Structure 1
Amino acid sequence: MASKPEEITLSALLTAAAEQSPNQKAIIVSGKIELLHSDLQKIVNTCAAQLRNSGIAPGDVVALSFPNSIEMVILFLAVIRARGVAAPLNAAYTAEEFEFYLQDSRSKLLLLPSTGNAAAEAAAVNLKLPTAGTRFCTSLDGNRALEFLPKSVGLKIPSNAVSESINLENKEDDVALFLHTSGTTSRPKGVPLTQLNLAASTQHIRDTYELSPADTTVITLPLFHVHGLVAALLSSLVSGATVVLTAAGRFSASTFWNDMKSYGATWYTAVPTIHQILLERHSAKPEEFYPKLRFIRSCSASLAPVILEHLESAFGAPVLEAYAMTEASHQMTSNPLPHRGQRKPGSVGKPTGLEVGILDESGVPQTQGTSGEVCIRGLNITKGYQNNPEANKTAFQFGWFHTGDIGYLDEEGYLFLIGRIKELINRGGEKISPLEVDAVLLSHPAVAQAVAFGVPDEKYGEEINAAVVPQENMTVTEDDIITHCKKNLAVFKIPKKVYLTDSLPKTASGKIQRRLMAEHFGAAVRARMGG
C-alpha cells in the first residue's frame, strides 16, 4: 500500500530550510541581533509550546501588533507552528480600529512589545481579551529566547515549556494567517489563509526569483501587510535565505542603502511609492556606489514604465514588476528574471504557479488581446472570506476567483492590467484606464507622484481629474501638466483639472488610495453641481 503523501505546509518548508541551511543567517536586526536558521527554529518551537501550554488551541486567533522586529518574526512563526492563527495588526490603529479588528478576527490573545500599546490595550480591556507583553532577550549564559512578561493580563504562559512534549504537527488546511482587505469601498473583509495557501505562495515566489541561501534582502514594508510578510520574509526563510530588519523597525531611505551594502543584499521588494522615494534620494544625494543586485521587485500597485526605466538606470539592476493580492496569499504573476524571459514594461508578467483567465461578465473566457476581468485559481487562493456570504458569492463564480481587476493577456501570456472595475472612468461611454493616465503624468520630469481619478460631470457623467506631487526643488504648474498630457494622450483622456499637492493619501503599505481622491474631489464637484 502506498504511503500517504506528506502534507505541504509552510511550517514543513521552514523546518526543511533550517535543516538544509542550519548555519545560514536567517534574521538580522541591523546592528543588533543575528539569528541562524537553526537558532530561529529552536526558539520558535519553544515559543510555540509555551503558547500551547498556556491554553492556545488549534484554530485560536492570536493578534500581533509590533513594528518590524525580531519579536514579530518569532511570534508569527510560533503562533502558526502551534496551529494557531496569526492576525498581524498595524500598531498605529486607534483604539476603535483595534477593537473592530480584534473582534472581527475573534482573537483569543493579543501580543504586544514590552513597551506596550495604549490604544491596543484599551481595546483589549473593552473586549476582556487576554494581553501579553513580549521581548527578545539573551541570558548570562548566552541562551537567547523570547520572554513573555510577568505583567501579562488574564493569561498564564509557562516559561519552561518543552516543545517535544506536545503535538505540533501542522496540517495543510490549518488556517495560519488572518488578514483584512482594505476597506475603501466597503467594510474590510476578513481573509483566512491556510498553511497550504502560504506554502504554495512562498514556493511560487522562491521559484520565480530563484531565491536561495545565497540571497539577502532588507525589508522595506510592514510585516502586518501580505507583501512584506509573504514576499520578503516568508519566501526568504523557506529558501534558507537571510532577511534584514532595520534598527528602527520601519523603512528609512536614509539607512536603506547602508543596510543593503553592509549585509550584502542581493534584492529587495517594495511598492512604487518606496521606489520613487529611493529615486528622489538618489537624485538629491546619491550613494558613492550601489550594491550589485540580482533584481529589484515591484508589487502592490502599478509601476509606471518611466519609473521602471529610472530604477534600472539609477541602481543597475533589472526591475521585475509583479501582481498580487491578499486573497491569493500575495503573488499571482511576475515578470521573469532576465535569463528566463523578457521583461515587459507596463505588464505584470506571466502567471507564477497558478492559472490566470480573462472572463467576461457571463464567465466566458476571452481570447488573447481581449480585455475582461482577471480571474485566478490555484493552491495559494483563499477558500473564502470569513462570514461574508455575499462577498463570496460575487468573488467565486464560474469556478474562478474574481480579482475585480480588468486586464488582458498578450500572445506570449503576459498580463496587462487596465484598472480596477470600480475605478475605470466612464467619460461619455469611453472607458478610460486611470493607470494609463498615471503613467503619462509620471513621465513628466517634474512630477514625483501622481494619481488620476474620476469625478462627476454634468455633460459626460464622469470626467478625469488628477493630483500630482512635484519633484523636490522643482516647479510645475497645472498648465504644464495638461500641455504634457495633450502631447501623450488622446483628447478624451486628458485630465480636465490637475491639483498640485504636497502628498497623496496612502495605505499603511504605501499604496496610493485612488478611491479616496475620487471621493474627496468628487464630493466637492457634486456640491458645486447642487448634488
Structure 2
Amino acid sequence: MSNTFADIFRDEVLSQPSVLTTSSSTPQNLTLTYGDLKAQISSFISQALSLLNSSHFPGLPIASMLPNGIECLVAFLGTALMRSIPAPLNPAMKQSEVEFYLEDSSSKILLVPANTSFDSHEGVLAAKKLGVQIWTITWKSDTGISLSPLDPNATVSSAPEPDFASVLPSDVALLLHTSGTTGRPKDRTFVVMPMFHVHGLIGSIMSTLISGGSVVLPPRYSASAFWDEYIESKSTWYSAVPTIHQIQLQTKIPENLPKIRFIRSCSASLAPSVLEKLEKNFNAPVLEAYAMTEASHQMCSNPIPPAQHKAGSVGKPQGIELAILDDAGHRVHLGEVCIRGDNVTSGYLNNPSANASSFTKIFDSSTSNAEQDDPSSPNAGKLWFRTGDQGYLDSDGYLFLTGRIKELINRGGEKISPLEIDAVLLNCPGVSEAISFGVDDPLYGQEVYAAVIPNEDSKSLTESDVKEFVAKHLAKFKVPKVVYISDFLPKTATGKIQRKVVAEYFTGKKSQ
C-alpha cells in the first residue's frame, strides 16, 4: 500500500458500493461503486487541470464552500489526489470570514455550488475582492461531476490523464482551520456531521472509505428525517457530537429500530448519563472518542465490545503516543495531554508563536532535567504536541479528561473541572441540556455559573431545584452560584457548545 488516499481504490473493492445518497439529497437515491467514484474523481481532476492550464503545482491550496453531498466529496478527494490541498470552509461563513481564510491559506481557487446566487454569495464576494478564481461545481444526470469557471473569459486547455500513482504520503491532504478485506463490507455510516468539519470528513467518511465500507450522504442533519433515512439506507453506525445525541434522545424512537453496530461520540465531552441513555434507548454500544483537527481527528477511542468501554473515558490511544506532562515537560499523573505521531500536525500555518508554544520535549524530573526519549519509538526525535486538555490515564491505559486547561474554573484557588459539574447537571431530573462555566468574581477570582434547558415536560424547573440537586452530589464550592433556566444555548456550526460563548451570552462578561 502507498499510504495515500489512492489506497481507497483497491481492485478488490471497485465493484462494491462506496457512496449512497438519500431521498432528500440531490441527486436522489444515487449509489456509486468505488469504481464509479474513482471515475468521477478522475473526471474532476481532468477538468480542474484544464481550468488551471499551466498554473497547477503540488501543494496548490483550493478552497471550497459546499454543502454535504456528492460534489463535496468528489471535490475533496479530487483536489487531494491531484496533489493540491483541499481547504473546505463552512458555507455559512460571512464575507469577512471567508476573506481571512482565503488569505490565510493562500487559496487561489474557490469552489461553490453551480446553483449559487453569485451576486450575494458571501464566498463569491470575498473571492472577487481578493482576485481568487471562482469555479462552480454540479452533478449532471448524464455525465456526473461538472466544473465550470465563473469567468466566461477563462481559458481552458487540454489536460493529461490523471495518475493517482504520483500522489506521495508526504503530500498535505487537508487544510482545516481549528475552533480491507476482499469480502463484501458490512459497515455503512450515515454522515451526520458537516463535511467542512474534520469530524464528518475524516471521522465518518474517510475512515469508512479506507476500510472498504459505504457512506450515506444526506444533505444535512435533520432530527425528524434521521431515523427514516438511516433505516432506508441500511446504515450500520453513525458518529455525532453530544448535542446531536441529546437531540436524538428527545425524538421518537421508531418501532422498527434496526440493529446498530455502534454509535460514536466525539468533538466534545459526553456525560456518562447521556451515554447510558443512548445505549439503553438504541440498544447499541456507544464509543466515546477523543479527537482534534491538529491530529487529523482521532487520537483515542473506546474499543468495540466485547472489549471494555468505560463511561467517562475517551478510551485508549489509537495510532499515537500519549503522555501526561506538566508545564515544564515532566511526566505527571494529572496534567496536560500531549501527543505525537504521523497523524499529528507539524505546525500551524503562518503562526510561529503558536508553534513555539504548542510543542514540547519530555524532560527528566530529576535535577539533571535531561531530555527523555525512547529510541525504539517510531516517533523518536519528534516533538510532543500540547493539546490544551487536562487529564490522566488509569491503570488500564484509558484516558479520562478533566477539562480544557483554560476552561478550569479557579474559585479562590480551587481548580474546578466544569466537566464534573456538567455530568451532575445532566443527571438532574427535568434537565435536557446543561453547561457550566466560570465568570469573573471580585472576591474569589471566578465563580461557578451554569445554564440548563428543561425537558418539554419540566417547564416548571427552577434555579433552586437545580442548585439543590447539585449540592447533594458535589462539594459546596462547586455548586453554581447562578443557574440560568433557558430554552436556548448558543452553539457552533458543528453543534458544539463553547463555554466562553455561553458565558458571554448569559452574562455579557468574558470568561477567563
Alignment check: 8 A CA contact 2:452 2:484 kept:
yes
Among 222, 227, 237, the residue aligned to 1:257: 227
Shift of 1:168: 5.8
Shift of 1:156: 3.9
2:371 maps to: none
Alignment check: 8 A CA contact 1:51 1:157 kept:
no
Alignment check: 8 A CA contact 1:468 1:499 kept:
yes
Q: Percent identity?
A: 49
Q: Is 1:239–2:231 an aligned residue pair?
A: no
- SS in structure 2 of the partner of residue 503 of structure 1: coil
Query: Which blocks of at least 5 consecutive residues in structure 2 are unaligned?
Result: 362-382
- SS in structure 1 of the partner of residue 396 of structure 2: coil
Q: Is 1:25–2:20 an aligned residue pair?
A: no
Shift of 1:365: 1.1
Q: Is 1:89–2:89 an aligned residue pair?
A: yes
1:50-97 deviation line (CA, Å, top 9, x unaligned): 222332321111111111011001111100010000000111111111
How many residue pairs are counted as aligned between the two chains?
A: 477
Change (3 A) 1:362 1:214: same
Change (3 A) 1:52 1:409: same
1:192 maps to: none
Instruction: Give the TM-score normalised by the residue count of structure 2.
Output: 0.90
1:29-59 deviation line (CA, Å, top 9, x unaligned): 1031211111001110221132223323211
Q: In structure 1, how many angstroms separate the alpha carbons of the residues matched to 2:128 and 2:465? A: 54
Shift of 1:459: 1.7
Q: Is 1:361–2:355 an aligned residue pair?
A: no
- Corresponding letter in the other structure for 1:337: I
Change (3 A) 1:276 1:427: same
- Corresponding letter in the other structure for 1:498: V
Shift of 1:506: 1.3
Q: Is 1:378–2:341 an aligned residue pair?
A: yes
- Corresponding letter in the other structure for 1:39: D
- Corresponding letter in the other structure for 2:279: E
Shift of 1:109: 0.5
Shift of 1:130: 0.8
Q: In structure 1, how many angstroms separate the alpha carbons of the residues matched to 2:507 and 2:348? A: 30
Q: How does 1:124-203 map to 2 (within 5 A)?
A: 124-139=127-142, 144-149=143-148, 151-152=150-151, 155-157=154-156, 161=159, 163-164=161-162, 169-182=166-179
Q: In structure 1, how many angstroms separate the alpha carbons of the residues matched to 2:420 and 2:116? A: 44
Q: In structure 2, how many angstroms separate the alpha carbons of the residues matched to 1:233 and 1:392? A: 29
Alignment check: 8 A CA contact 2:49 2:159 kept:
no
1:401-420 deviation line (CA, Å, top 9, x unaligned): 00000000000000000001
Shift of 1:154: 6.6
Alignment check: 8 A CA contact 1:225 1:509 kept:
yes
Shift of 1:137: 1.1
Q: In structure 2, how many angstroms separate the alpha carbons of the residues matched to 1:78 and 1:94? A: 26
1:452-491 deviation line (CA, Å, top 9, x unaligned): 0001112211110001111123221111100110111111
1:348 maps to: 314
Q: Is 1:42–2:39 an aligned residue pair?
A: yes
Q: Is 1:397–2:354 an aligned residue pair?
A: no
Q: In structure 1, how many angstroms separate the alpha carbons of the residues matched to 2:31 and 2:94? A: 33
Shift of 1:153: 5.9
Shift of 1:123: 0.6
Change (3 A) 1:467 1:84: same
1:222 maps to: 194
Alignment check: 8 A CA contact 2:339 2:385 kept:
yes
1:14 maps to: 8
2:185 maps to: 213
Change (3 A) 1:146 1:444: same
1:408 maps to: 392
Shift of 1:432: 0.3
Alignment check: 8 A CA contact 2:6 2:164 kept:
no
Q: In structure 1, how many angstroms separate the alpha carbons of the residues matched to 2:278 and 2:230? A: 16
Shift of 1:317: 0.1
2:240 maps to: 270
- SS in structure 2 of the partner of residue 214 of structure 1: coil
Q: In structure 1, how many angstroms separate the alpha carbons of the residues matched to 2:291 and 2:74? A: 25
Shift of 1:286: 2.7
Shift of 1:212: 7.8
Instruction: Give the TM-score normalised by the residue count of structure 1.
Output: 0.87
Change (3 A) 1:23 1:393: same
Shift of 1:440: 0.5
Query: Which blocks of at least 5 consecutive residues in structure 1 are unaligned?
Result: 1-5, 183-205, 527-531
1:203 maps to: none
Q: CA RMSD in A?
A: 1.9
1:300 maps to: 267
Shift of 1:15: 2.2
- Corresponding letter in the other structure for 1:243: V
Shift of 1:518: 2.8
- SS in structure 2 of the partner of residue 431 of structure 1: strand
Q: In structure 2, how many angstroms separate the alpha carbons of the residues matched to 1:259 and 1:305? A: 28
1:319-358 deviation line (CA, Å, top 9, x unaligned): 000000000000000111012x211100000001111100
Shift of 1:172: 1.5
1:101 maps to: 101
Q: In structure 2, how many angstroms separate the alpha carbons of the residues matched to 1:157 and 1:335? A: 50
Q: How does 1:456-471 map to 2 (within 5 A)?
A: 456-471=440-455
Alignment check: 8 A CA contact 2:134 2:149 kept:
no
Q: In structure 1, how many angstroms separate the alpha carbons of the residues matched to 2:407 and 2:128? A: 40
